[in-house]
Homo-oligomer: A and B are copies of this chain.
């Protein structure tokens, strides 16, 4: 586990924003709608989306008719972009140890360990930066009957 749900929430929200953008031009998705659909608190959504906005992935608008919109083409948003916007670091960070607690018999071991952690991060980075939001959405269409998506769109306007 990641310890938190920011990545999953952010990915879900971006997917919703992307679908909404395609289906209801000009009407952004609100935090409340995202929150209800993702199953978390609207304030939590705004916090996550705030990070995504800082990263330039979404834009927000106040007022009625306001909400969240993608700031980029879904083809140009990778899972790594999302991860980086929402988490301080990839997993497999070496925890910083107090200097005097350093391994006393070999300063080379921590270095080798850090190398192993780094290579895990690299592998992950490589994968995440090769999957786009667009691809995730495409996989949704693949695993659902066409009419399933159609009818789903009909209920997109239900009030939350």
Which residues of A are in contact with B by a Cβ distance under 8 Å?
A: 1-3, 5, 7-8, 11-12, 15-16, 19, 36-39, 79, 87-89, 91-95, 97-98, 101-113, 115-117, 119-120, 123-124, 126-128, 131, 136-137, 139-141, 143-144, 148-149, 152-153, 155-156, 158
- Count this chain's copies in the assembly: 2
A153 / chain B contacts, CB cutoff of 8 Å = 105
A120 engages B109 (CB within 8 Å)? no
30 A-B pairs in the complex with CB atoms less than 8 angstroms apart: A1-B3, A1-B87, A1-B88, A1-B91, A2-B91, A2-B92, A5-B95, A8-B117, A11-B113, A16-B103, A16-B109, A19-B106, A37-B101, A37-B105, A38-B101, A39-B98, A79-B120, A104-B158, A105-B152, A105-B153, A106-B144, A106-B149, A107-B144, A108-B148, A112-B139, A119-B131, A120-B124, A120-B128, A120-B131, A123-B127
